[in-house]
Chain A
Amino acid sequence: EAGVAQSPRYKIIEKRQSVAFWCNPISGHATLYWYQQILGQGPKLLIQFQNNGVVDDSQLPKDRFSAERLKGVDSTLKIQPAKLEDSAVYLCASSSGTTHNEQFFGPGTRLTVL
């Protein structure tokens, strides 16, 4: 089966600019996650969707980050305006069915904020 797709793979922007990342999960996977992975750290959840509804966005910096999954398939994560500390790899993952199913990760988008 095709994996989780993400684009772009790399992005370099100036601080205070805006940026958007796109994710296409594995077909049929109802749950979609966005994680932020800062260099030298493990991934940290930003937001979890179940179909097109938000389940957990408790760690999303809502003053600058937003995400949507309008039709319950693809998702977009946006940062506006970006800060230097937003430099990280943004990982999208998806999973299906039961609560203990493993998550499948995309290759990530590496964001550098100058």
Chain B
Amino acid sequence: AQSVAQPEDQVNVAEGNPLTVKCTYSVSGNPYLFWYVQYPNRGLQFLLKYITGDNLVKGSYGFEAEFNKSQTSFHLKKPSALVSDSALYFCAVRDTRGDTGRRALTFGSGTRLQVQP
């Protein structure tokens, strides 16, 4: 079974400072990893994904994430936070082993990012 852990319910950071939102995962095979962001009363928006190749993945709005296989982590990062980055962030995983027709993602419980001016 696949699972995702986001150990922090909330992350607070000052505008202009770097931010990190943590994610660890568990799968049987190799993972496909995703980050989504959710703004109030809106659906989830895709930020970035890791499929294979370079461990550092760049995505939308200046976000990036680093895949670390030995630590089974996929932390989301941004060099300089903006107040508008304040939202709920979800990490998700899909195991590549097993029935390839089943493409559903397993999501973490979410981390609320609060960027203070």
Contacts and interface: CB of A to CB of B under 8 A. Distances in A.
Interface residue range, chain B: 20 to 34
Given A42-B109, A102-B34, A48 B44 contact: no
Given A102-B34, A102-B46, A107-B43, A55 B108 contact: no
Interface residue range, chain A: 20 to 34
Interface of A: 4, 31, 33, 40-45, 48, 50, 55-56, 91, 93, 95, 99-100, 102-108
30 contacts: A4-B43, A33-B104, A40-B109, A40-B110, A41-B110, A42-B90, A43-B90, A44-B107, A45-B105, A48-B103, A50-B101, A55-B102, A56-B102, A56-B104, A91-B44, A95-B103, A99-B32, A99-B94, A99-B96, A99-B100, A99-B103, A100-B51, A100-B94, A102-B46, A102-B49, A104-B46, A105-B44, A105-B45, A107-B41, A107-B43
